[in-house]
């Protein structure tokens, strides 16, 4: 529940957002929690069942079928997930010309499903896969693959296919990474939604924005490293949907 004492903070956040010249929103797994997509560090969901190792590159190379099993389960969830109020409100702010871009760590495509257009996918996407053979690197659409037998193999060369998400031990894909840092340098107001701030280098985006003089507004049910280390200027505690609703009401 949103408590009364936070009302002023919402008014202040709404005022800052309205007066932003270049509003950038930075999102993490938490914004999709209300769409039924599990976060990595939450209490429930598929990431309690699998070790996070299944998404490390070295594990994937040695055990592609095990890694693919977890990824397929996640892919089925996100294919059937729908954007929630928070995704939709952000798409609306872009249409109104208030929001300039979204930098997301998510790989679930829910911002795009909600109608957001200027989205930078900092950790890549699950929509496509690439053949791991460096002499081939053929790309396929994930939803067109037959995932009955895992791991899926390349039709051209027979090598294993890997989703285009950024695994642990990998660098975020380009140009998304550079463009995201450009957005963080340009913004004068950044809203952070549903991220724990522990994944690097993504967690440096709000820090970069702050160093360039931006005001940082954070929406999270619990304090994150960004709150604790003082990167955040205004902390709006609560779930993404309810907090975004309050902000949108204050902005009317
Ligand atoms: P995380 O799992 O580390 O943290 C999630 C954060 O969301 C936490 O701070 C939590 O308190 C908060 N949260 C939980 N429920 C919320 C709600 N209803 N509203 C707002 N916030 C809520 O996720 P992360 O920081 O994004 O980093 C983990 C990495 O895992 C990401 O980089 C991403 O690539 C990947 N991931 C993506 C998805 C997705 O695409 N939806 C899901 C899981 C993990
Ligand atoms: Zn190939």
Radius of gyration of the chain (CA): 19
Task: Read off the pLDDT of residues 89-128 as tens digits, 9 standing for 90 and up.
Answer: 999 999 999 999 999 999 999 999 999 999 999 999 999 9
Residues 196 and 113 in one domain: yes
Residues 87 and 191 in one domain: yes
Give the residue among 127, 112, 40 at the shortest CA–CA distance from 75: 127
Number of domains in the chain: 2
Query: Long-range contact list for 134-139, CB < 8 A, 24+ apart?
Result: 139/164
How close is the Cα of 162 to the center of ligand 2, in Å?
Answer: 11
Burial of 129 (0-12, 13-18, 19+ CB in 10 A): buried
Does residue 58 sit in the same domain as residue 106? no
CATH at 189: 3.40.50.1220
- Same domain? 105 vs 3: yes
Residues 154 and 32 in one domain: no
Domain final position from 134, 149, 165: 165
Tokens of 96: 């109104």
123 is catalytic: yes
Residue-level pLDDT at 181? 98
Q: Ligand 1 mean position to 32 CA, how many Å?
A: 8
The model's pTM = 0.95
| Residue 130 per-residue DSSP state | E
Q: Are residues 105 and 132 in the same domain?
A: no
Q: Using the 3D structure, point to which of 165, 195, 227 is the last residue of a domain.
A: 165
Do 132 and 70 reside in the same domain of the chain?
Answer: yes
- Protein residue with its CA nearest to atom 18 in ligand 1: 239
Domain match, 49 and 93 both: no
What's the pLDDT score for residue 3? 53
Domain that holds residue 157: 38-80+124-165
- Measured from CB, residues less than 6 Å from any atom of ligand 1 are 28-34, 37, 39-42, 105-108, 123, 194-196, 199, 202, 220-222, 224, 239-240
5 and 113 in a single domain? The answer is yes
Q: Which DSSP letter does residue 251 get? A: H
Residues 6 or more apart whose Cβ sits within 8 Å of residue 65: 150, 151
233 shares its domain with 149: no
Phi-psi region of 172 (alpha: psi -120 to 50; beta: other; left: phi over 0): beta
Residues 31 and 98 in one domain: yes
Is pLDDT at 2 greater than 70 in this prediction? no
87, 123, 138, 200: the catalytic one is 123
- The mean pLDDT value for 217-226 works out to 96
> Residues 65-85: what's their mean pLDDT?
95
Domain boundary among the residues 109, 138, 165 is at 165
Looking at residue 155, which CATH number applies to its domain? 3.30.1600.10
Using DSSP, state whether 136 is helix, strand or coil. coil
Of the candidate ranges 34-43, 80-89, 95-104, 157-166, the one whose mean pLDDT is the lowest: 34-43
Burial of 69 (0-12, 13-18, 19+ CB in 10 A): middle
- pLDDT of residue 142 exceeding 90, the answer is yes
* Same domain for 205 and 93: yes
Q: Which ligand is nearest to the CA of 85?
A: 1
Which residue is associated with the tokens 């693959």? 145
């Amino acid at each position: 529940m949103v408590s009364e004492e936070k009302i002023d903070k919402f008014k202040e956040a709404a005022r800052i957002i309205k007066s932003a010249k270049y509003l950038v929103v930075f999102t993490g797994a938490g914004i999709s929690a209300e769409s039924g997509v599990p976060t990595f560090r939450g209490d429930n969901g598929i990431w309690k069942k699998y070790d996070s190792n299944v998404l490390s590159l070295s594990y994937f190379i040695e055990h592609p079928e095990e890694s693919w099993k977890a990824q397929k389960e996640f892919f089925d969830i996100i294919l059937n997930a729908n954007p929630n109020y928070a995704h939709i409100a952000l798409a609306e702010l872009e249409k109104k010309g208030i929001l300039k871009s979204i930098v997301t760590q998510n790989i679930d495509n829910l911002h795009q499903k909600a109608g957001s257009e200027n989205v930078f996918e900092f950790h890549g996407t699950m929509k496509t896969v690439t053949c791991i053979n460096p002499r081939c690197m053929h790309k396929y659409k994930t939803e067109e693959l037959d995932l009955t037998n895992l791991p899926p193999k390349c039709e051209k060369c027979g090598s294993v296919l890997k989703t285009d998400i950024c695994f642990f031990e990998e660098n975020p894909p380009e140009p998304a990474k550079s463009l995201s840092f450009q957005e963080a340098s340009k913004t004068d107001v950044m809203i952070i939604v549903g991220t724990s701030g522990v994944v690097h280098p993504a967690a440096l985006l709000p820090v970069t924005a702050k160093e360039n003089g931006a005001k940082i507004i954070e929406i999270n049910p619990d304090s994150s490293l960004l709150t604790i280390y003082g990167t955040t200027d205004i902390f709006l505690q609560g779930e993404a949907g309810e907090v975004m609703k309050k902000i949108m009401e204050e902005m009317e």
